[in-house]
Amino acid sequence: MPAYQLASREYQQEDTVIELKTCRIGSGQVVIIAGPCAVESEEQMLGLASTLKEMGVHILRGGAFKPRTSPYSFRGLGEEGLRILARARELTGLPVVTEITDVRNLDMVLKYADILQIGSRNMQNFDLLREVGRVHRPVLLKRGLAATIEEWLLAAEYILAEGNRNVILCERGIRTYETYTRNTLDISAIPAIKELSHLPVIADPSHGTGRRSLVAPVARAAVAAGADGLMLEVHPCPEEALSDGPQSLLPAQLEHLLAELRPMAESLGRRLSGSI
């Protein structure tokens, strides 16, 4: 038994499947999570949400509390952002995922979010991990910027050990010496997680590359490597985005990517949509 026990394949052989209204993460389905880096306004979010719904996206993403490297950057709309997300959910029927950074906001975020995201920078914020472990809402746990696969699974273990078994792992790139990309997406981590753990694992090629032109090929690669889904930043007007513009796809680019993914997924015995 490895140091992560509850998260290990030894402890549980069958894959954990997270059931949501629009998809089943970990079931073999290729689940698409998409939306802007940050919720910027109601108009933007609702318009984009409708577009994404029509394309077949399963889950909406959008940040209300943004951890930013500089204290002088836009930090998100806070609870107002959460309210907008909730309206987007009402409008589209799509579940929403949003980041939580502060234990003191847990009750507030629980009022609005279907999935709680723990960002890279908080992967070892153990107090936060324990708190989200005490509720039963699914948690999307991003890999830390310089976390080993073992440390990542031990971070998941913090959540599982408190009782919450609904953890989704998300590979989002690690820090290396290469500067052409924002991070280096560790593609081998996807099958590695699949052999070490029963938890679902998705990929975030937007943060993983930091460059719009690389998002689609790396998204295809992640699915081919066995990822249970993709988390993609989409913005109607990336050059005006308040954060992460250079890595955001245009809606039409996402549509094109989904059209590429559907036959590829089928060739691998998987599907984006429908009951699996």
Contacting residues for 199 by C-beta, under 8 A, at least 6 apart: 7, 16, 26, 156, 167, 168, 169, 193
Dihedrals phi, psi of 246, to nearest 5 degrees: -60, -20
In this structure, are residues 82 and 98 in contact, taking their beta carbons and an 8 Å threshold?
A: yes
- Nearer to a copy of itself among residue 263 and residue 274 (C-beta): 263
By CB under 8 A, tell whether 228 contacts a copy of itself.
no
Contacting residues for 210 by C-beta, under 8 A, at least 6 apart: 173, 181, 182, 183, 246, 247
Exposed, middle or buried: residue 235 (CB in 10 Å: 0-12, 13-18, 19+)?
Answer: buried
Near a copy of itself in 133-162, by CB under 8 A: 145-146, 148-151, 154, 157-158, 161
By CB under 8 A, tell whether 106 contacts a copy of itself.
no
By CB under 8 A, tell whether 64 contacts a copy of itself.
no
By CB under 8 A, tell whether 104 contacts a copy of itself.
yes
Q: Report the residue from 20, 46, 110, 224 that binds a copy of itself according to the rule CB under 8 A.
A: 224
By CB under 8 A, tell whether 126 contacts a copy of itself.
yes
By CB under 8 A, tell whether 178 contacts a copy of itself.
yes
Distance CA 236, CA 107 (A): 31
- Nearer to a copy of itself among residue 13 and residue 177 (C-beta): 177
Cα-only R_g, the chain: 17
Q: Report the residue from 30, 116, 185, 202 that binds a copy of itself according to the rule CB under 8 A.
A: 185
Unique residue bearing structure tokens 């699914």: 138
In this structure, are residues 249 and 215 in contact, taking their beta carbons and an 8 Å threshold?
A: yes
Distance CA 58, CA 20 (A): 9
* Smallest separation (angstroms) from a copy of itself to the CB of 46: 28
Q: Report the residue from 68, 111, 136, 256 that binds a copy of itself according to the rule CB under 8 A.
A: 68
By CB under 8 A, tell whether 10 contacts a copy of itself.
no
By CB under 8 A, tell whether 132 contacts a copy of itself.
no
By CB under 8 A, tell whether 266 contacts a copy of itself.
yes
Where does this chain touch a copy of itself (CB under 8 A) — which range of 76-84, 109-117, 176-184, 234-242? 176-184
Half-sphere exposure of 147 (CA within 13 A, CB side): 26
Q: Report the residue from 94, 190, 241, 254 that binds a copy of itself according to the rule CB under 8 A.
A: 190
In this structure, are residues 92 and 53 in contact, taking their beta carbons and an 8 Å threshold?
A: yes
* Smallest separation (angstroms) from a copy of itself to the CB of 113: 17
Between vectors from CA 172 to CA 166 and to CA 173, what angle results, nearest 5°? 145
**How many residues sit in the footprint of a copy of itself (CB under 8 A)?**
67
* Residues near a copy of itself, by CB under 8 A: 3-4, 67-72, 101-104, 121-122, 124-127, 130, 145-146, 148-151, 154, 157-158, 161, 174-181, 184-192, 194-195, 208-209, 213-214, 217-218, 220-226, 260, 263-264, 266-268
